[in-house]
Amino acid sequence: MTSIDLTAAERAAESAAPAVPADLLDPGFASDNTAGISPAVLGAITDANTGSALPYGGDGVTARLEHVIREEFGSQAQIFPVFTGTGANVVSLQAMLPRWGAAICTRQAHVNTDEGAAPERVGAIKLLARPRPDGRLTPEDVDAELGAQGFVHAAQPLAVTLTQSTEVGTVYSPAQIAAVAERAHAAGLGVHMDGSRISNAAAALGVSLREVTTDVGVDVLSLGGTKNGALAAEAVVVLNPDRVTGLDYIRKFSMQLASKQRFVSAQLLELFGTDLWRRNAEHANAQARRLGERLAQIDGIELSSPAQVNAVFPKMPRHVVAALQSRYLCHVWDEAADGDPIIRLMCSFATSDAQIDELVDHARRASTARLAHGG
């Protein structure tokens, strides 16, 4: 895939916007956020809805979640449930950085492109964005920013933040994470992971959550639940308590502390206290592979990169994109070297075979119709 400039991608999406109002389009492949609540998670909310419980995390459900998280990530692990992924990232980075601190990320990182400047506006955190065509930060990117250390006129690089899986559908291997973490720690930097889709990444790699976090040097994790079947349930997981300060207070003044926290905790407990996180993610990943393989069989359509997780980036002629956008809410993500658009299609725990068949048939009919008329 070519390097993505999200501003350019957004402009392309606007210029290719369908005439059909967005609320009349099928949103099923626009994002994994368009899916509902995983039935087991919904059941966990209902199960927690009995009797009275202490607020603000003093309940028994949260206590069980804390135990599960220590079993999964290590005896030092601490979990702080929050409402949103943006909240988890901003709370994490605020707790890791002094006021003069900055975080190194990729240009495509969600914290840099899709959070309404919340790290800067709410957290007062300078982001040092590195251009990476594959969305993955490297040790060399860390080195490139270290020259500012000790220079009073520059925000100080004191953390790195990795997005797993990345916004361009790639995955960091454990070895790649360990290499970045080793370089960061050697320079005194903490390592944060934006794990809004960490379940998809771990499922794709066939590893445990611990193997791509604690074991390879991640200090603080934003643990994603919403994209994998939860409702407004995310968490900050501190893996190395020495890397954070005042997180309890930061979560509160950042408006991320739930009064009836048992309902947030119950969802995370259902996901991560069982193998539901993996089953949901494996389904989403498998459906993305199936969708990509089916689309690649159509004349004129090819995958700009293999589907590693639950994101598919097919390159297709503009008339096929237009046909899809007349029925589906889907985004033009980039432009290939030959000028054809690359769109993004997302699968979720709820994506069905029938949904895939319908989209593929629609794309095939658009391609066949143009070929039949000599296009």
Predicted confidence (pLDDT) per residue in 92-147, tens digit = 999 999 999 999 999 999 999 989 999 999 999 999 999 999 999 999 999 999 99
Lowest-pLDDT choice from 26-30, 112-116, 215-219, 362-366 = 112-116
The number of C-alpha atoms within 13 Å of 313 and in the hemisphere containing its C-beta is 24
Closest CA to 368 of 312, 291, 303, 297: 297
d(CA 321, CA 331): 9
Strands 78-82 and 234-238: antiparallel
Q: Which residues contact 45 (CB under 8 A, 6 or more apart)?
A: 37, 231, 263, 266, 267
**Alpha helices in the chain, H assignment, sequence order:** 6-15, 39-48, 60-73, 85-96, 110-113, 118-121, 139-145, 174-186, 198-205, 247-253, 262-272, 276-296, 318-325, 353-372
Alpha-carbon distance of 292 to 169, in angstroms, equals 13
- pTM exceeding the 0.85 threshold for the entire prediction: yes
The answer to whether the peptide bond before residue 165 is cis (omega within 30 degrees of 0) is: yes
**Cα dist from 55 to 58, 225, 262, whole Å:** 6, 21, 8
Q: What is the mean pLDDT of the chain?
A: 93
Q: Is 292 in contact with 312 (CB distance < 8 Å)?
A: yes
Domains, the chain, with CATH or none:
6-30+277-372 (3.90.1150.10), 39-274 (3.40.640.10)
Quick check: helix, strand or coil at residue 119? helix
pLDDT band at 22 (very low <50, low <70, confident <90, very high): confident
Q: Is the pLDDT of residue 347 over 60?
A: yes
Residue 370 identity: R
At 181-205, the pLDDT tens digits run: 999 999 999 999 999 999 999 999 9
Give me the pLDDT at residue 374, please: 54
For the packed helices 353-372 and 318-325, what is the interaxial angle rounded to 10 degrees? 130
